[in-house]
Structure 1
């Protein structure tokens, strides 16, 4: 399998090009997935302005704002890796409020935040209309084996050793959740060293 080293800037350019190559006749849903040490939200943020410069409206959403209430999320304790793997994310809410409205023929009206996990209450967010040819950039972890609808999916891959080394102590209990994770991604980026990412497959 070909692995192409890239600079962080070149990675942004590569992903912006792939997103902008998607048809402008409808919305583009882009999932950026990675374990917490890869900080997929930071990469998603870096795509916003280049895409807007190409005339693409952009909406940023984080899966962290679509977690289930604590009563469900922590039903089996605060450090249960199976619950973290399967029950923390409100897949139904994310699909209903964010991804579904951007189906072809959908309303284009997205709720950018649903649940404030820190306060354990609903966000008071308003719906946002994503304009024609708009791009949704959704970041999160463990997203890419849940059959979420998307036009492009990106996985920031960490080797098991790098994941164990880089995961903060407070989250080490989640390590078993990644053992069975098999993401289905359109683009895979080796991300053991964020300053030296490498694209798995063909550039361009």
Structure 2
């Protein structure tokens, strides 16, 4: 029982770390750290993510000392705490990518995309939690509401119909900003039309 509780507490602790890293480093450092530069690049191009090798290095760099410290301070419960923390981090990495690359399939999926895309496309100083809005509520950085206005050039393919409009099932969540693509053939560069 104590190990399950420690793992749960580790997972909850990750949500606080996620919030603080996102808010204080990702945005607060304004490009002065490598992780901040990578994060700001992701905001510029939402389909860009930090390389997996850097994520693995960060995870190992945290897991080894955290496991050692946890084992020393709390024995197996400390290891369970670390396992919960690292598992929640891995869930975050999977979820964050999926928010950008896959359509929602559940009410929670629709909520998570709206919450995260409000951060991306409306107010980057709000909605720093990705796996949970808890700390946004605690620290007063939560923004609710819909629809999210998404710049057309940043709209993920899963959001759009074949003619470049918001899919009907997502129309209450998202709106597009910017000119719609014009139907018909596009002139080739260097070739006069007509």
Larger Rg: 2
State the structure with bigger RCO (CA 8 A, min sep 6), 1 or 2.
1
Same fold (TM over 0.5): no
- The structure richer in strand per residue is 1
User: Normalised by the size of structure 2, how large is the TM-score?
Assistant: 0.31
